[in-house]
Amino acid sequence: MRYSVFDNNGVWQASYSHKLPNVHVKTIKQWAIQTGKLCAGKVYETIVPSDKKYKTKEHLLYDFTHLKSKLQDSKPKRKQYKKDKDNT
């Protein structure tokens, strides 16, 4: 299984696989849930079969789009200062 996290705009944020050594599947699922809450997005579970004749299945586990994203914008916000004009 694989867990994928997308933000509310549908942009990929993270993926977690169950094949990490010495990490329990529940821990990996919790990582995906925490990331979904952080970016206010959706968490999908993808089932990848070992046999190539079967297709992968993906379904929505959690939807956190109602929350506010805690991530900062990639562009820094600059303050706009008004220029003083001489009235002479």
Can you spell out the DSSP letters for 30-72?
HHHHHHHHHHT-EEEEEE--SSTTSPPEEEEEEE-TTSPP-SP
| Three-class DSSP category at 55 | coil
Q: Are the C-beta atoms of 4 and 15 separated by less than 8 Å?
A: yes
**Per-residue pLDDT for 6 more than 70?**
yes
Average pLDDT over residues 43-49: 89
Residue 57's identity, in one-letter code, is K
When pLDDT is cut at 50, 70 and 90, the band that residue 23 belongs to is confident
Query: How far is C-alpha 40 from the chain's CA centre?
Result: 7
Residue entry with tokens 């329990």? 24
**Per-residue pLDDT for 49 more than 60?**
yes
